[in-house]
């Protein structure tokens, strides 16, 4: 029993006579072959995504999660516009030291009005 096949989802043993579902090298009880988000049991022919750790996500939930991630990634901060004077100040400071210390960067920030 200790060395028999285990269900990827629940880690419980699977008797040799029990019907199972497989996804690549992962084996599942029928009731464990379900989406981790909506808990819907997946049937033969259903489209799903298999995570690296063996967790399953139905296509609908995967696409919803992906859309949410894309919309969050699209919320970027506005581009910073640097004036010629600010650029000259930064160039001079970085010419003297390519990796300025924190106090130097803080001083540059206050002189130029830019975020650190």
Q: At 46, list the tokens.
A: 């259903």
Is residue 113 within 8 Å of residue 87, measured between CB atoms? no
Q: What is the dihedral of CA 15, 19, 22, 27, to 10 degrees?
A: -20
Encoded tokens for 111 = 């002189």
Over the stretch 38-93, which tens digit does the pLDDT of each residue have? Answer: 999 998 888 999 988 899 999 998 888 888 776 666 566 677 788 888 888 889 88
CATH class, range 1-74: mainly beta
Task: Enter the pTM of the model.
Answer: 0.56
Specify the residue for token string 């992962």.
26
Superfamily in which the 77-115 domain is placed by CATH: Homeodomain-like (1.10.10.60)
Compute φ and ψ for 106, nearest 5 degrees: -65, -40
- The span from the CA of 58 to the CA of 34, in Å, is 8
Q: What are the residue ranges spanned by the domains of the chain?
A: 1-74, 77-115
């Amino acid at each position: 029993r200790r060395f028999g096949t285990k269900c990827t989802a629940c880690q419980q043993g699977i008797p040799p006579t029990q019907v199972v579902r497989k996804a690549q090298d992962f084996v599942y009880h029928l009731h464990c072959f379900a989406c981790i988000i909506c808990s819907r049991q997946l049937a033969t022919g259903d489209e799903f995504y298999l995570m690296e750790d063996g967790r399953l996500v139905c296509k609908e939930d995967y696409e919803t999660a992906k859309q949410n991630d894309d919309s969050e990634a699209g919320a970027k901060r506005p581009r910073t516009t640097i004036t010629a004077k600010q650029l000259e100040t930064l160039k001079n400071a970085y010419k003297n030291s390519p990796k300025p210390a924190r106090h130097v960067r803080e001083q540059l920030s206050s002189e130029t009005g830019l975020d650190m």
